[in-house]
């Protein structure tokens, strides 16, 4: 019994570490998972293709929770390969968890689809598991594996459903989801920052700014929201705001993504003031990698 799935990386509109409210958007970078189940196998053996010494607890927990809930507790193996760099602020753990849960559903022969938004209820009788149910299971695995502060339901829904999602991470509720079509430029410095190590108290200190960002996001003003978010959380987490200031004249929005270190700029193709090439020029001499991509509105898929 083998299953395969892919899920999206994401950029940040609102970091949830201040208040528990968060928002993120899916981008065209993917993590893929292959799951092989065996009723006779004891335990689950995980491998991360790009990082053979990486911690596989999250993806193993995802398979165990999924077979416990929808199967007969089968064991087996899970392997991820990913274009989303680890610990870079681009939601690698959410993408890996979503891809793994969906690949496990695929290996179990289950049909995955969408129920009514926000509830996770399977309204289509042909659907065994909704993507929101699968997403919530991945968030539970992330909490149990200790790789998240709030559960990161914002990142997980953006990765699973695509588009911009606004969530309450305390209750794992989806408050809104909307499609967006932006060009995206990502600068990833060479250093890495694990979300679980972030200074939560410093983030909580900027809670009034996070409330303002949440209001903007719920009003559909995502790009302005992410720019305010970036300034507030760069200051709180000790990241340089210069890349954001350099991008601002040429971008619709720009923010530190997650707990960093990546910075993500977005350009609305209908906005004549924006020019991703000029953002790329402004960031061109910085160490690390520059990635040109786009938003995605389709989310995670079984392959």
Ligand X SMILES: Nc1ncnc2c1ncn2[C@@H]1O[C@H](COP(=O)(O)OP(=O)(O)OP(=O)(O)O)[C@@H](O)[C@H]1O
Ligand Y SMILES: O=C(O)C1=C[C@@H](O)[C@@H](O)[C@H](O)C1
Binding site as annotated, residues for ATP:
85-95
Strands (E), the chain: 2-14, 21-38, 44-48, 75-82, 112-113, 129-130, 164-168, 173-178, 183-188, 253-256, 263-267, 289-294, 301-302
- Out of 15, 80, 130, 159, the only residue in the binding site for ligand X (CB under 6 A) is 80
Q: How far apart are CA 265 and CA 280, in angstroms?
A: 10
Per-residue contact track with ligand Y, 22 to 41, x per CB under 6 A? x-------------------
CA–CA dist 5, 103 (Å, integer): 5
SS (H, E, C) 69-134: HHCCCCEEEEEEEECCCCCCCCCHHHHHHHHHHHHHHHHCCCCEECCCCCCCCCCCCCCCEEHHHH
Residue 71's binding partner, choosing from ligand X, ligand Y, none, with beta-carbon cut-off 5 to 8 A by kind?
Answer: none
Binding-site residue total for ligand Y (CB under 6 A)?
15
Instruction: Residue 36: name its binding partner from ligand X, ligand Y, none (Cβ under 5 to 8 Å by kind).
Output: none
CA atoms 248, 264, 193, 50: torsion sign: negative
100 binds ligand Y per the rule CB under 6 A: no
Closest CA to 99 of 8, 195, 194: 8
195 belongs to the binding site for ligand Y (CB under 6 A): yes
Report, in angstroms and rounded to the nearest whole number, the Rg of the chain calculated over CA atoms.
18
Contact pick of 7, 12, 232, 250 for ligand Y (by CB under 6 A): 12
Q: Does 258 bind ligand Y (CB under 6 A)?
A: yes
- Which of 18, 27, 90, 247 touches ligand X (CB under 6 A)? 90
**Residue 149 makes contact with ligand Y by CB under 6 A:** yes
Q: Which stretch binds ligand Y (CB under 6 A): 14-22, 111-119, 277-285, 288-296?
A: 14-22
Q: In angstroms, rounded to a whole number, what is the distance separating the alpha carbons of residues 253 and 266? A: 5
Count of beta carbons in the 10 Å neighbourhood of residue 49: 12
92 touches ligand X (CB under 6 A)? yes
| The binder of ligand Y chosen from 157, 188, 259, 262 (CB under 6 A) | 259
Nearest residue by C-beta to ligand Y? Answer: 258
3-state SS of the chain: helix, strand, coil percent to 5? 35, 25, 35
Site for ligand X in 144-203 (CB under 6 A): 147-148, 194-195
Task: Say whether residue 15 binds ligand Y (CB under 6 A).
Answer: yes
Residues binding ligand Y (CB under 6 A)? 12, 15-17, 22, 148-152, 154-155, 195, 258-259
Residues binding ligand X (CB under 6 A)? 31, 48, 54-55, 57-59, 80, 82, 86-94, 96, 147-148, 194-195, 258
């Amino acid at each position: 019994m083998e299953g395969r799935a892919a899920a999206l990386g994401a950029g940040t509109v609102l970091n949830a570490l201040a208040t528990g409210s968060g928002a993120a958007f899916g981008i065209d970078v993917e993590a893929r998972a292959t799951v092989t189940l065996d009723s006779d196998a004891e335990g689950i053996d995980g491998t991360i293709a790009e990082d053979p010494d990486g911690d596989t607890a999250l993806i193993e927990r995802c398979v165990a929770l999924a077979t416990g809930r929808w199967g007969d507790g089968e064991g087996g193996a899970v392997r991820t390969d990913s274009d989303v760099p680890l610990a870079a602020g681009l939601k690698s753990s959410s993408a890996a968890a979503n891809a793994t849960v969906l690949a496990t559903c695929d290996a179990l022969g289950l049909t995955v689809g969408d129920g009514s938004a926000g509830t996770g209820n399977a309204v289509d009788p042909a659907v065994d598991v909704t993507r929101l149910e699968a997403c919530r299971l991945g968030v539970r695995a992330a909490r149990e594996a200790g790789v998240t502060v709030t559960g990161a339901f914002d990142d997980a829904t953006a990765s699973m459903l695509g588009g911009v999602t606004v969530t309450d991470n305390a209750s794992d509720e989806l408050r809104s989801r909307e499609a967006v079509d932006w060009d995206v430029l990502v600068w990833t410095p060479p250093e890495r920052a694990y979300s679980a190590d972030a200074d939560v108290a410093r983030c909580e200190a900027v809670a009034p700014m996070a409330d303002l960002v949440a209001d903007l996001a719920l009003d559909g003003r995502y790009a302005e929201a992410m720019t305010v978010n970036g300034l507030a959380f760069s200051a709180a987490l000790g990241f340089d705001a210069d890349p954001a200031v350099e991008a601002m004249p040429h971008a619709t929005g720009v923010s530190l993504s997650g707990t960093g270190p990546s910075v993500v700029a977005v350009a609305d193709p209908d906005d004549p003031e924006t020019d991703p090439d000029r953002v790329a020029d402004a960031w061109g001499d910085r160490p690390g990698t520059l990635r040109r991509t786009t938003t995605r509105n389709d989310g995670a898929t079984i392959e």
